[in-house]
A and B are shown apart, each in its own frame.
Chain A
């Protein structure tokens, strides 16, 4: 499987992102405001290549803005955001795929055509694009649903297709904005485990925004707890254990529970 993953990444990585196999994210002295309203306050962050960083913080603290800054969808007011060698927004856009909060699958396209959107945008013919995305459908438990319309899929499956769409873009950095927020608790737990497996098979540099401390600590190598707006980092913590594929075992471990409680405490203190 990992061999296949590498082959896939090599096939579809953008030529522009020359710094493969992995791209690090580096944020220096970042400030951002909407008009007079400061959203992010002097922020420094580093994510090593293939690292997974979690961002947790209270609602409206500027997590999503931070993610859009990383993805090149917004410009900092001051400071810099670099993805590998890429500093300007276009270079960041070329290196980062963004998965929005809601799956936003286009209802007029089948599941496979949704997943293949980035390839189609890059000028790959429909047949070839479907074949390439189709390989991932099999690997990630979606075989047989290629031609289904998004409305026919369950919430978890829609989210998987949305994640595949992000993967197929072949970008070294993934910006995930609360990808599982709209799912029920059971499906969310399944999807967290699924994502852990997907990232093992096809490693990328990931910045994951979530309001779920447990999700962040389970999926990420490091977690940054943000304050209420304007966002600054209250504490950065390492994951209690390396990402394992057995979620239930991981999150019930006493060490994990202790770190989770500490993170929750920090979050509460930071939002006061």
Chain B
């Protein structure tokens, strides 16, 4: 319980300072801006409450994009991680390609995805999956390579088949690595989803933020960003919880 107290106090303090600085117009003065562009926490909360139906509706769209995109990325990352493991030549061949897929900025790639998959959920899923699969694939492949060779020998003299070796030794060894990759992936997923929406969409928190920004409705931009953060933290928490439940030996 104790460890929550200090961070909570810090956050409350920061919000208080922000409230004071925004409501007195101090920030606006320093930045030489119209005070209406600098919403106070209270105004953001009001905007969130007044627009709760709209925000919730768009949050639901974005959440689906993040969740399904992440799941696709997870499946791709796991599949690739396992596929690369037994074939050293394949690994050496494909690895540079996987790295290259991350080196191409998503900004370049996303508009093409819209051309390919249209304005629906498709391109968002693709962007999120593309961002998520990389840390999961790399972590899983590394995890499978971390298997103790002595343990492999031991399992072989205990009559383990190739499949049993995979299920009873290699997979459990790789699992904590995969979770580390998944935690990184799930952290980037909301950013990827918003980016996918910015390239072309008619709903979602990213879409809302873009619209409100153009209309200088800064309070609602912050409100949407707040909900997006909450989704990100929630999903990270879910992955961390799953890890604690499944990887009980660490």
Contacts and interface: CB of A to CB of B under 8 A. Distances in A.
Interface string B47-88: 000000000000000000000000000000000000000000
A147 B190 CA distance: 41
Given A104-B148, A149-B249, A98 B153 contact: yes
A169 B249 contact: no
Nearest to B152: A73
Nearest to A97: B157
Interface string B141-176: 000000010110111111111001000110010000
B159 A121 contact: yes
A106 B168 contact: yes
A101 B157 contact: no
B150 A169 contact: no
A132 to B, nearest CB: 14
B148 A98 contact: no
Given A106-B169, A108-B172, A149-B249, A93 B150 contact: no
Contacts of A72: 157
Interface residues of B, number: 19
Contacts of B249: 107-108, 149, 151
B160 A73 contact: no
A118 B159 contact: yes
Contacts of A99: 154
Contacts of A107: 249-250
Nearest to B247: A108
Contact of A71 (B157, B161, B248): B157
User: At the interface, is chain B mostly helix, strand, loop or mixed?
Assistant: helix
Contacts of B172: 106, 108
Contact of B153 (A73, A108, A149, A165): A73
A114 B201 CA distance: 53
A156 interface: no
B169 A118 contact: no
B151 A169 contact: no
Contacts of A122: 159
Contacts of B169: 106
Contacts of B250: 107
23 contacts: A73-B156, A73-B157, A93-B159, A96-B157, A98-B153, A99-B154, A100-B150, A100-B154, A104-B150, A106-B168, A106-B169, A106-B172, A108-B248, A117-B155, A117-B158, A121-B155, A121-B158, A121-B161, A151-B249, A165-B158, A169-B158, A171-B157, A175-B157
Interface of B: 148, 150-151, 153-161, 164, 168-169, 172, 248-250
